[in-house]
Structure 1
């Protein structure tokens, strides 16, 4: 229940590392003087007060924070440019901070350093940029990102899904345990070795298998012929060789689809690759031309084995069963 303003003498506590003033009734203004000697500060929270942070636009703080929590403090209307100097930040909450501005590109470029980022409930506007390619390493396997209650526009597809991993090595055998998988997309990574034969033996419900743009070599295992529900097979842009299994010619007729049942995986799944795109509106873009299939997406078959070293005739067509 602390109230009143924060004294300027705060800036004299030069050995301070951790400062939590959150959830009090403090008001008034914080300026550069409050932080002038806080060179060791790494954790700062003033959330839940009525404080105003008013600093020079060119201010470079003396500290390098790892955690900064300023929810409901008044930072705006400009996006706080001094955050550009904070290279170690992994937790940031500047929600409900009266920011009415676009997000500068330097901040978008640093967004993958955060384990927790909350910039919700501001008046932030502008377009979410494409990230191509995304950074190869991110600090957390399960980062939390909240951009809600703003006026941002644009697509988040590339921002979230496109190229976030550079997984390498062989496909772990522990994948065998995922016997009920309907969609497996390991594309655009750096997996090596042969495509495991057990993929065709254990994934009896698999509808979509995407292994494109890796470093797989050897033969395409004949065991994949056992994937009798498979609708999309994409192994393009690897180093596969040998002859194609004869059953590939019959992939489009391998599955008998029950029209009364369509998997959720095919009703909402979005595949984005170089030569085709399966969208929620059930349209397909393949090699630059769009075909509409609407309600019969469950009958579509796509096979892409391009950019490998296969010998003999390769069936490359889109067919309907």
Structure 2
């Protein structure tokens, strides 16, 4: 119908309707078409290869349909194409190498599909004019290709929710679009993105920021964002990442990243949304985080952070601290109602130790008393029993000695004393010395 009524039409903008069925092949007869917008409909089936013959196309937007199958190789023939939106469909398989011929692409949006394989290196090698690259929510695997760092104009990179492994590339530092805040907002450069506004079509991109899905249209030139969340990235955050001073959104959540948060994070002065939750970060939160005056969303929950939370006017106004810092049990500070005073902590530990030592002291004290009591009692009983045994034996010895003395006395009594009882001089001197009968020691 469109072809018959106006075969020279340049703009087919049919978004936000209820069209169903396959994408009509008769659209391929509109040789002068520059914009094809079939977004937000119910188109299904596979994409016709004949679209590749529309060499004057600048925009193809098929967002939010249920188109399936492979991305056609023929799209690589549209060399003047600047904006390709295939997000929220059911495209599958690997990206065709033929797409490397789209050297004029500024926006490449393939998010929320079933695409597989590695992220193609040729995206960085060939598509040097890209500003928006969105590959989130697919099934891409492998490492982030270092060639992506060669896209100097890139200001929004979204690789979230894939199966990407490896580390965060150090070479991201070369992303001029994320370093110079005036680069993305420059009126001359930004016309590549919003050029089609006068036709009724408005360039757009949908992304998650601050935990919410947001759609950028007129403000897309100010979207300077790096999203790598929900992957399997490991290692530490490269310090050079803190040189992307124009970044307004950084999302590294739900990975396996470790180490400390870089102390130079305060360099990201334009940062508005920062999400590092659900990783393995440790150590203290850098005090420089409090200097991010434009920050209005922060989530560093579910890590292993410790120490005091930095104090700053902006940090205190970000929302519920129990959500922002959740799962970091060693963090402390007024916002968590958990004291960081070392003296108090030491006193608390000392009290615990004293209590433990005191209870142990009492236990040993009473144990000593009981032990001493039983030892003394045993000694007393033993002594009494010993005396009882010796007593009869000593008595019999004394009786025997006394009997012997009496016999000696009877034998020598007349020799040692005279009739008056005085010592007798006739008695042998040995008897006088040896038997002093008057000595009390014999009694």
TM-score by length of 1: 0.48
* Higher Cα Rg, which structure: 2
Question: Of Structure 1 and Structure 2, which has the larger fraction of its residues in strand?
Answer: 1
Question: Of Structure 1 and Structure 2, which has the larger fraction of its residues in helix?
Answer: 2
Higher relative contact order, chain-length normalized (CA < 8 Å, sep 6+):
1
